Amino acid sequence: MRFPDDVPTLTDGVVTLRAHQPADLPRIVQQATDPESVRWTTVPHPYAESDAVDWTTNVLPKGWATDSTYGFAIEHEGLFAGSVDLRMRGELEAEVGFALHPGARGSGVMRRALDLLLDWGFGRGVEVVYWRAFVGNWASRRIAWRLGFHFGPTIPRLLPQRGEQRDAWTAWLGADDPREPVEPWLVPPVLEADDVRLRPWREADGPRLVEAANDAVLREWIPDTPLPRSLEAVPAYLTRVHVGAATNGRLAWCVADAGTDVALGNVALFEFEDEPDDLTAQVGYWSHPAGRGRGVMTAALRLATDWAFGRSAEGGLGARRLYLLTSVRNDGSRRLAERAGFEHVGTERGSAPLAAGGYEDNALYDRLREEETAPTT
Ligand SMILES: CC(C)(COP(=O)(O)OP(=O)(O)OC[C@H]1O[C@@H](n2cnc3c(N)ncnc32)[C@H](O)[C@@H]1OP(=O)(O)O)[C@@H](O)C(=O)NCCC(=O)NCCS
């Protein structure tokens, strides 16, 4: 196809995709030199106007001429707002690429632009479009999620960026897939009671996570804990925590002191099964040494379970049954489970790994939605 004559103009009335024009050059340069673009794309760095000229007069036309990359400018409110492209990998599959001018971010422009691009690509017979982004590019991931992409594995060192190979998230969308999220993106709500606050984990909690990871008591009861043993390992750990929530796999809260907001432990829901409003989930928890012996985790477990059963003002998960497993020897954890309203219903033989190797029995506790709320004393 010839550039710009054969480049179609696609619009939904708010956002328009069209061929790049010479008048776009100043805003192309602004976009390419914006720190978020530098951080998350392979745009040359440093970037001069001559790079933009080369891109619009050589690279883009060549992509269209060889039917290898179909690049469009995004226009919004009369201004160049960014670029999207469909990079063909053979006849029927393509990769999507996108970036916005900083002035156009935060207003839903990219979602509209990608909807137009995907309609056009699928309309031409493309069967699957895939997305790859550097790990940590949450804005990009959120857009792919909203558009109905299915997320695949994180692949180490998959994507090059200025001479380095970086880890990447992956996802795909089929031609007939609905353009809506495949699964919920869980967000831990802030819940408070009895001097305890449940809130999302954040980077500033790193030292507390490392202290917990290296605590002998925690390691005795959870020898296979994925907690970070060093500060360097904290960002990757937190990314896994947030991806767990974004993929409807695991919802973890930091249990913090409501007065100081300092982290005292963790409570999490995972192993979701069955349909929404009728689901079963497992509950897990651990305490930082400073959070033990004060009733903190009992309050946290009550907050998390009440929310999961849909009993809080903050909404809930619609769970029907929650269960937890704790070593038969872990008296403190068993008392805590009972105080939070869980009932001992059985034993799972040989399912708790031991720090010294081998396995022991787990006590199985559960709670049903129809049961009374746990007493608060
Ligand atoms: C990626 C990009 C196109 C997103 O466009 P945008 O207009 O900035 O996107 P938004 O601000 O609407 O954010 C998209 C969503 O991500 C969410 N988001 C942003 N940062 C987030 C973060 N750190 N954690 C979780 N969610 C985040 C937003 O809240 C929004 O969610 P919503 O749809 O529920 O409102 C734009 O940021 C960009 O050009 N970045 C640089 C280039 C780039 O990264 N391209 C993609 C390469 S794969």
Q: Whose CA is nearest to atom 8 of ligand 1?
A: 105
Question: Whose structure tokens read 């202290």?
Answer: 211
Would you say 374 and 339 are in contact if contact means Cβ atoms under 8 Å apart? yes
Q: For ligand 1, is residue 187 a contact (CB within 6 Å)? A: no
CB-count burial class (<10 Å; 0-12, 13-18, 19+) for 138: middle
Taking the centre of ligand 1 as the mean of its atom positions, its distance from the CA of residue 37, in whole angstroms, is 11
Sheet containing 319-327, strands listed edge to edge, beginning at the edge strand earlier in sequence: 191-193, 196-199, 250-257, 263-273, 279-287, 319-327, 359-368, 343-353
Please choose, from the candidates 54, 51, 55, 88, the residue with its C-alpha nearest in 3D space to the C-alpha of residue 69: 88
**101: its two tokens:** 């001018």
pLDDT tens readout for residues 75-111: 999 999 999 999 999 999 999 999 999 999 999 999 9
**213: its two tokens:** 């990871």
Single-letter amino acid, residue 107: S
Distance CA 252, CA 212 (A): 15
pLDDT band of 314, cuts 50, 70, 90: confident
Mean pLDDT of the chain: 96
Residue 305 has pLDDT above 70, yes or no: yes
Would you say 141 and 239 are in contact if contact means Cβ atoms under 8 Å apart? no
Taking the centre of ligand 1 as the mean of its atom positions, its distance from the CA of residue 41, in whole angstroms, is 13
pLDDT for 254 equals 98
Q: For ligand 1, is residue 100 a contact (CB within 6 Å)? A: yes
**310: its two tokens:** 């849909």
Single-letter amino acid, residue 156: P
pLDDT for 373 equals 67
pLDDT tens readout for residues 145-193: 999 999 999 999 999 999 999 999 999 999 999 999 999 999 999 999 9
Taking the centre of ligand 1 as the mean of its atom positions, its distance from the CA of residue 96, in whole angstroms, is 15
pLDDT band of 276, cuts 50, 70, 90: low
The string over 154-174, giving b where at least 16 C-beta atoms fall within 10 Å of a residue's C-beta and e elsewhere, is eeeebbebeeeebebbbbbbe
pLDDT band of 375, cuts 50, 70, 90: low
Q: For ligand 1, is residue 56 a contact (CB within 6 Å)? A: no
pLDDT band of 21, cuts 50, 70, 90: very high
Taking the centre of ligand 1 as the mean of its atom positions, its distance from the CA of residue 235, in whole angstroms, is 19
**297: its two tokens:** 């985790």
Q: For ligand 1, is residue 15 a contact (CB within 6 Å)? A: no
Residue 291 has pLDDT above 70, yes or no: yes
pLDDT tens readout for residues 320-370: 999 999 999 999 999 999 999 999 999 999 999 999 999 999 999 999 999
Structural domains of the chain, with CATH: 10-174 (3.40.630.30), 191-368 (3.40.630.30)
Atom of ligand 1 nearest to the CA of 31: 39
Residue 377 has pLDDT above 80, yes or no: no
Q: Whose CA is nearest to atom 45 of ligand 1?
A: 99
Atom of ligand 1 nearest to the CA of 146: 33
Q: For ligand 1, is residue 106 a contact (CB within 6 Å)? A: yes
DSSP class of residue 358 equals: S
Q: For ligand 1, is residue 137 a contact (CB within 6 Å)? A: yes
pLDDT for 311 equals 87
Distance CA 147, CA 128 (A): 13
- State how beta strands 79-88 and 93-100 pair: antiparallel
How many alpha carbons lie under 13 Å from residue 259 in its C-beta half-sphere? 3
Distance CA 218, CA 225 (A): 8
Residue 317 has pLDDT above 70, yes or no: yes
Task: Give the residue-averaged pLDDT of 218-223.
Answer: 96
What are phi and psi for residue 184, nearest 5 degrees? -65, 150
Q: Whose CA is nearest to atom 10 of ligand 1?
A: 106
Q: Report the residue count for the chain.
A: 377
Task: Give the residue-averaged pLDDT of 295-308.
Answer: 96
pTM of the shown model = 0.94
Please state at what angle helix 296-308 crosses helix 331-339, rounded to 10 degrees.
50
Which residue of 112, 142, 201 sits with most ligand 1 atoms within 8 Å of its CB, as the best mutation to test the pocket? 142
Atom of ligand 1 nearest to the CA of 82: 39
**Rg, Å, the chain Cα set:** 25
pLDDT for 120 equals 98
Give CA separation, 72 vs 24, 147, 264, 329, in Å. Answer: 12, 19, 50, 63
SS3 content of the chain, % helix, strand, coil (to 5): 30, 35, 35
Give CA separation, 19 vs 72, 116, 132, 246, in Å. Answer: 5, 14, 24, 35
Q: For ligand 1, is residue 41 a contact (CB within 6 Å)? A: yes
Taking the centre of ligand 1 as the mean of its atom positions, its distance from the CA of residue 138, in whole angstroms, is 6
Distance CA 241, CA 202 (A): 10
Give CA separation, 259 vs 6, 185, 193, 195, in Å. Answer: 63, 29, 11, 7
Residue 374 has pLDDT above 80, yes or no: no
Atom of ligand 1 nearest to the CA of 108: 12
Which residue of 27, 85, 135, 143 sits with most ligand 1 atoms within 8 Å of its CB, as the best mutation to test the pocket? 143
Please choose, from the candidates 42, 51, 57, 44, the residue with its C-alpha nearest in 3D space to the C-alpha of residue 95: 42
Helices (H), 41-136: 49-54, 60-65, 109-123
- State how beta strands 263-273 and 359-368 pair: unpaired
